[in-house]
Amino acid sequence: MNNEIGVYVHIPFCLRKCYYCDFASYENMEKLIEPYINALCDEILKNSEILSQYKITTIYIGGGTPSYIDAKYIKQILDTLMLFTDKEFLKEVTIELNPNSVTKEKLEIYKNAGVNRLSIGLQSIYNDILKIIGRVHKLEDFEEALKIANDLSFDNVSLDLIYPLPNLSLEQFKETVDYAISLKEKNIKHISIYNLEVHENTKLAFLLNEGYVSLVNEDTEYEMYKYLKDTLSQNGFYRYEISNYAINGYESKHNLKYWNQEQYLGFGSSASSFFGGKRYTNTKDIKEYIKRINKNEILYDECEELDLLSLMKEYVMLNLRKLEGLNKDNFKIKYQKEIYDIFAEEINELEKLGLLEENKKYIKLTSRGLEVANLVWEKFI
C-alpha cells in the first residue's frame, strides 16, 4: 500500500476580490482570521490518527491569498502539521503569494517554517490590464517580490498567468510569455498558464456582457495558445500538464498527486480531500466552518463515495491531463484489470477521432486532443 499522502490547506482571505475569481475567497473578513486559523489547526489535530499513519510528502497552502494574512498564522499551521511529519519524507511545501502582500519578513518566516516552493500570481505584466481585472498589485510589486525571494535563496518559484485577458492583444501576450521565460535566471522554474474561465455572477462577466471590455476572438486566442506552448518548450519549460510547464525536475509534486489520483487531505473551509476512495469537501462558509469545528460537528457538505467504475473513469481523466498520459501498467496494478477490459470502446473511438494515441506503455492525448480535452472527458463522464 502506498502510505504517502499530500496535504492541502485553504486560506480563504483576500485583500480584494479579483473580477474573474470564483474561488472560495473573501474580502473584509479580517476579524475571522484568528478564529479560522485556530479552527484549522484544530481540524489538523482531530485528524492526528490518520496523519500519524501516513507519510506526508507534500504540503500546499493555497487560497485565497495565504500571503495576505500575518505570517505567524502560516507558521502556526506548519508547526501543527510538522507534529505529524517526518522531515525525511517531506519533499515539497508550497505557498501561494499575491505580489502585493509579500515582504522579506514574511518570506523569512515561511522559510524557517519549512516552505521550499513559492507560487506567485502575476496574471499579466501590464498594469492597465491588472487594473481592469481587479488585481491589487502592479508589475513592480511582482518584481520586488521575486527579488526578495531570490535574496532569500528560494530556488523553486512558480508563476501564474492567465490568457486571454480583457483588452490583451496577441503582441502583448507574446511579450508576456517572453518575459516569463526571461525569469528563468531568477529561479522561475515553473509556469502555470490558465485559460481564462468567465464565471457567471463575477464582475468580469458583467463587464464583458455590457461591452465595457472585450476579449480577442477565437482565432487570436488559438495563436496565443500556439505561441505559448511552442515558445515555452523551446526555452526549456516543458509542458507536463494541460496548463503547466516546468524546467525538468521542477514539476509540482503536490499537483501530480491529484493527477495520479493519489490520496490527499484538505484542511480548512472549502478544502477537498480524497481518502479511502471517497471525496469530501468542507463547507465553504468560514463562520459555519469555525462553528462546526467548535461544536465537533461534521465539516464536510459533500461526501461522495465513488464506486469502482467511477474511480476508474476519474483515474483515466486525471492521468490524461498529463502530457506523458496514462501508464497502462499502473492502471492494471491499481485496478487489477486491463484498461481495455473496461474502456476499449471509448479508447478506440477517441483514437479514430485523432484525439488519443498510444504506444506500448502509455495512452495519451494527441496535440488535437490537448486542444479539445473537454470532448475527451465527455466520453468518460
Ligand X SMILES: C[S@@+](CC[C@H](N)C(=O)[O-])C[C@H]1O[C@@H](n2cnc3c(N)ncnc32)[C@H](O)[C@@H]1O
| Contact between 89 and ligand X per CB under 6 A | no
| Residues 197/243, Cβ–Cβ less than 8 Å | no
Q: What is the largest CA-CA distance in the chain?
A: 57
Taking CB under 6 A as the binding criterion, the range among 1-9, 18-26, 33-41, 179-187 that sits at the site for ligand X is: 18-26
| Contact between 269 and ligand SF4 per CB under 6 A | no
Residues between 11 and 40 that touch ligand SF4 (CB under 6 A): 14, 17-18, 21, 23, 25
Binding test (CB under 6 A) with ligand X, winner from 80, 123, 244, 269: 123
Binding test (CB under 6 A) with ligand X, winner from 43, 92, 96, 251: 96
The residue (of 65 and 244) whose beta carbon lies closer to ligand SF4 is: 65
Query: In 3-state terms, what secondary structure has residue 353?
Result: coil
| Residues 80/44, Cβ–Cβ less than 8 Å | yes
Binding test (CB under 6 A) with ligand SF4, winner from 121, 164, 325, 369: 121
| Contact between 63 and ligand X per CB under 6 A | yes
CA–CA gap between residue 247 and residue 245 (Å, rounded): 7
In the sheet that 356-358 helps form, which strands lie side by side, from edge to edge? 326-327, 362-365, 356-358
| Residues 190/222, Cβ–Cβ less than 8 Å | no
Per the DSSP assignment, residues forming a β-bridge with 60 are: 8, 94
- Looking at residue 146, its amino acid is L
| Contact between 271 and ligand SF4 per CB under 6 A | no
Matching residue, cell 472527458: 377
| Contact between 266 and ligand X per CB under 6 A | no
| Contact between 166 and ligand SF4 per CB under 6 A | no
Angle at 275 between CA 270 and CA 279, to 5 degrees: 45
Residue 162 touches which member of ligand SF4, ligand X, none, C-beta under 5-8 Å by kind:
ligand X
Binding test (CB under 6 A) with ligand X, winner from 21, 129, 265, 347: 21
> In the bound complex, which residue of the shown chain has the CB atom lying closest to ligand X?
121
Distance set, CA 115 to CA 51, 62, 92, 143, 231 (Å): 19, 13, 8, 20, 30
Per CB under 6 A, residues contacting ligand X are: 20-23, 62-65, 96, 98, 121, 123, 160, 162, 194, 196-197, 199
Site of interaction with ligand SF4 (CB under 6 A): 14, 17-18, 21, 23, 25, 63-65, 98, 121
